[in-house]
Amino acid sequence: MPSTLLKFVGLGSIAAAGGGITLGAMKFSGTEKPTPKSVEAPLESKEVVPPIPTEPTCVIYEAKEPIKKDGVDEFTELLKKFENKEEFFKELQVRRSTNESGLKAELDDACKNLNNKRNVNGNIYLWYGRSGSQETWIYATRMHDKNVDWVNKEGIIKSFETRNTQER
């Protein structure tokens, strides 16, 4: 039995050594195929860029009719905020203007600062009041001439902020 065991151990040792030599020879001889490395393509981040408006966006504020203070007309309260002309034009369907097409043209010009019509930092201020015997929307260049941005002026009451909070 010991001779069988010796033969078995001897053959096992030779086989193990032979396998190691063969494997080593393959490694250094270049017959082994290189393992391809996986290369990940970089992910392209696509930024979502909002479209550039074709014309300026104006915020329109409805103000309380201006009062004279030291001989100068001033707004004291901003009642409503319209994010753009289209939003205001919806209101124009409810509270009409005596000259709707004229008012729309004035607002278009004011948004672009054309034809002596102005906005202040993209803001337009107007009010709904009496002109002659009728109620109408009134845009007055004089309320924009001194470059006063009424929404940012200290002391102006901003009722539109309170209304928005109460509606939520």
pLDDT in tens, 99-143: 999 999 999 999 999 999 999 999 999 999 998 899 999 999 999
Q: Where are the domains of the chain?
A: 1-28, 59-167
Q: Mean pLDDT check: name the lowest of 26-30, 96-100, 110-114.
A: 26-30
136 has which bridge partners? Answer: 129
Q: Are β-strands 157-158 and 77-82 bridged in parallel, bridged antiparallel, or unpaired?
A: parallel
**Higher pLDDT pick, 167 / 142:** 142
pTM for this predicted structure: 0.65
**Higher pLDDT pick, 166 / 4:** 4
60 has which bridge partners? Answer: 82, 124
What's the confidence (pLDDT) of residue 158? 96
Q: What is the three-class DSSP state of 114?
A: coil
Could you give the residue ranges of the DSSP H alpha helices within 30-138?
85-94, 100-112
- Band (pLDDT 50/70/90 cuts) for residue 41 is low
Chain length of the chain = 168
- Band (pLDDT 50/70/90 cuts) for residue 168 is very low
The one-letter code for the residue type at 38 is S
pLDDT in tens, 64-89: 999 999 999 999 999 999 999 999 99
